[in-house]
């Protein structure tokens, strides 16, 4: 297998090697992967963050030689904490917009500079500082995406799905989560909404057959942040999510989980 990294702000991860194929997730700027197969201009990859597999366009990623990869993989980094930030190439002067969760290698706090695949960039302004407490940081990261449109497979403020939102929020806070809602429902430890649930706990929803199909982040005081149509705040109780705009319940609660914030991202 070859190691690689995303060199575009957002790289669609597709079910098959075609631009017409369903987008199942995304790689963000600087995120890394292992490439298992090449078919024409496409690579079948496995994301290092969550082991999610799919096909990416070879034009949107870089496969360094092993020596270059060994150097790149050891670089210190920080993550972009703003919903969207703008950076300028120090080589060309061209700007690029980076989504929350982008990996900024060799980031310099004083200079706001960072690098990717041999090129250097400068942020136009310093990234937002999140609370030191990771649970509070996850909430702060998630609320920046309020009103972002729902997009199946999305992981950015330009479009995000329910589990992409919770994964991105915790990732920005330094905690790794699986990609899908059903996978996230196996993370952490169970808690009761009526007795013990706290802000930043995750709530899971599904049908009568027990399959988990939706996830959101508890905010406390009977509120939940989730991606449904757009990233929104709705009411939650022991039955599920109640939409005031629709005047009905939209999702049936199946349980809540508390994420172990000692499980740091790679």
Q: From the CB of residue 244, how many other CB atoms can be counted at a distance below 10 Å?
A: 8
- Asked if residues 198 and 133 have their Cβ atoms less than 8 Å apart, the reply is no
Place of tokens 């059903």: 182
Full-model pTM: 0.95
pLDDT in tens, 237-254: 999 999 999 999 999 999
57 burial (CB, 10 Å; 0-12 / 13-18 / 19+) is: middle
What one-character-per-residue DSSP string does 66-122 give?
HHHHHHHHT--EEE--SSEEEEEETTT--EEEEETT-EEET--TTT-EEEETTEEEE
**Percentage of residues of the chain with pLDDT beyond 70:** 97
When pLDDT is cut at 50, 70 and 90, the band that residue 194 belongs to is: confident
When pLDDT is cut at 50, 70 and 90, the band that residue 73 belongs to is: low
For residue 266, pLDDT beyond 60: no
pLDDT in tens, 115-160: 998 899 999 999 999 999 999 999 999 999 999 999 999 999 999 9
Work out the average pLDDT over 75-83: 92
Place of tokens 């990859």: 45
Q: State residue 263's pLDDT score.
A: 55
Burial 206-222 (b: 16+ CB within 10 A, else e): beeeeebbbbbbbbeee
d(C-alpha 251, C-alpha 206), whole Å: 7
pLDDT in tens, 20-43: 999 999 999 999 999 999 999 999
Helix (H) or strand (E) holding 143: helix 134-143
When pLDDT is cut at 50, 70 and 90, the band that residue 207 belongs to is: confident
pLDDT in tens, 41-55: 999 999 999 999 999
Work out the average pLDDT over 226-235: 98
């Amino acid at each position: 297998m070859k190691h690689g990294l995303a060199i575009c702000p957002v790289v669609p991860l597709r079910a098959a090697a075609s631009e017409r194929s369903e987008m199942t997730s995304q790689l963000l700027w600087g995120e890394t992967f292992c490439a298992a197969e090449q078919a024409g201009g496409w690579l079948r990859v496995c994301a290092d963050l969550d082991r999610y597999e799919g096909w990416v366009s070879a034009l949107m990623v870089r496969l360094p030689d092993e020596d270059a990869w060994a150097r790149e993989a050891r670089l210190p980094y920080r993550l972009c904490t703003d919903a969207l930030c703008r950076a300028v190439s120090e080589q060309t002067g061209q700007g690029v917009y980076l989504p929350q969760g982008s990996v900024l290698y060799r980031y310099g706090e004083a200079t706001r500079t960072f690098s990717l695949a041999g090129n250097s960039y400068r942020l136009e302004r310093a990234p937002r500082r999140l609370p030191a407490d990771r649970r509070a940081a996850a909430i702060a990261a998630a609320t920046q995406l309020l009103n972002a449109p729902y997009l199946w497979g999305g992981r950015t403020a330009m479009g995000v799905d329910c589990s992409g939102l919770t994964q991105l929020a915790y990732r920005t806070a330094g905690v790794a989560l699986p990609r899908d809602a059903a996978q996230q429902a196996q993370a952490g430890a169970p808690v009761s909404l009526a007795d013990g649930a706290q802000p930043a706990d995750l709530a899971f929803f599904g049908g009568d057959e027990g399959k988990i199909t939706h996830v959101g982040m508890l905010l406390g005081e009977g509120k939940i942040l989730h991606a449904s149509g757009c990233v929104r705040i709705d009411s939650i109780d022991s039955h599920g999510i109640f939409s005031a705009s629709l005047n009905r319940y939209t999702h049936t609660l199946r349980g809540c989980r508390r994420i172990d914030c000692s499980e740091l991202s790679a």
